[in-house]
Amino acid sequence: MTRSLVIGAGGQIASDLIPALHRRGDEVRMLDLLPPERTNGFRALDGYFRSAGDPGWTKRWTAADAAKGSAVPEIIAGFRPQEVYLLTALLSAVGEGKPGLCLDVNMGSLRLCLESIDAMPAPKARLLWPSSIAAFGPIPGHPGGLPDPVGDDTPCFPTTMYGVTKVAGELLGAWYARTGRVDFRSLRFPGLLNATPPGGGTTDFANEMYFAAVERRPSRDFLREDTRLPFMYMPDAVRSMLELTAADPARLSRRTYVVAGLSPSAREIAASIAKHVERIHPGHRFEAAFLPGDPRQKIADTWPRTLDDACARRDWGWRAQYATLDAMTPALLDEIRAKQG
Ligand code: SER
């Protein structure tokens, strides 16, 4: 039985990662700044654990700051996890409004976690930390800013504080790995979609469209309809985390990997929802309005449109299962409807 620690346990990624770890048979401990009932992920987690016959799951949850203090070092020293998933972060849009807090939380939590794992007696935990497409931004002198697709070796010129923390964190983790201190691994994720609301990202407009469709509301989207960005359905994202964490270190040619899912425009997402929502709400016409002028457009315009994940495919056999809207949209609509109960 693998001992796994999930930090940032109340967020969007954790709401699917924790059930996946539990289903795998792991002993899972959870830490988040908030108590479980006050997190975005509570509904999904509580539903999962109750149906798994484990209604007392919140006893394994610690409410504490992941970026400072003694909680993370104490849990890592006492629980001796074999795998740590550090998901704590302020996302891109919120981070631009609170840059100092974004720097403190995103870098502080990573530093504390790396130092706590480094202090473990062998065997030390592997650390999985999500990076993001926000690591990229217009390359000085490059026509159009970025190549299309963007790949692992595309130079990183992040434009947001969130992106700066992601690139800095990738480099910090790689240093800990190179010096033999911590087996750090990272994924540059596209915008992630599941039934749990994300908190304050630029790609959230897509999540909101799916929620609106299930709730039979018109959606008001803050990006231009021709905005094309990389996305990934959460089951693929969770699988990529588990596969990279489990990969033989001898096969890893790098510590951070781009992973690709699909790259629809906002208009294509709306059309896909309109096509598939009919099955769950017969007769309902999904309407999406695209409202110009939001500051998040400026962030989106600096990000990759499509991704090339050749290194992940080659090194550890990665391949997304949900690579088209027709594969993802029906599954995501069903999932949101089921979890909203
Ligand atoms: N989904 C994130 C955001 O929009 C990107 O990693 O901030």
Alpha helices of 132-250 — where are they, by DSSP H? 161-178, 204-214, 234-246
Residues 6+ apart with CB under 8 A from 139: 145, 146, 154, 155, 157
141: pLDDT strictly greater than 70 = yes
pLDDT (0 to 100) of residue 65: 98
Which pLDDT belongs to residue 292? 83
Give the pLDDT of residue 118. 98
Of 45, 77, 83, the C-alpha closest to 61 is 45
Mean pLDDT of 54-70: 98
* CA-proximal residue: ligand 1, atom 2 (nearest): 201
Average pLDDT over residues 100-111: 98
Q: Residues 216-236: pLDDT tens digits?
A: 999 998 999 999 999 999 999
The answer to whether residue 210 is catalytic is no
Quote the domain boundaries for residue 275.
3-339
Distance of CA 214 from the midpoint of ligand 1 (Å): 22
- Segment 247-264 mean pLDDT: 98
Question: Mean pLDDT, the chain, as a whole number?
Answer: 97
Residue nearest (by alpha carbon) to ligand 1 atom 3: 201
Q: How far apart are CA 340 and CA 320, in angstroms?
A: 26
Between CA 212 and CA 220, with CA 218 as vertex, the angle to 5 degrees is 85
CATH no. for residue 136? 3.40.50.720
What ligand 1 atom has the least distance to the C-alpha of 204? 4
The residue annotated as part of the active site, out of 48, 162, 210, 322, is: 162
CA 282 to ligand 1 centroid distance, Å = 32
Taking only the tens place, the pLDDT of each residue in 147-160 is 999 999 999 999 99
Tally of domains in the chain: 1
Helices and strands in the chain, H and E counts: 12, 11
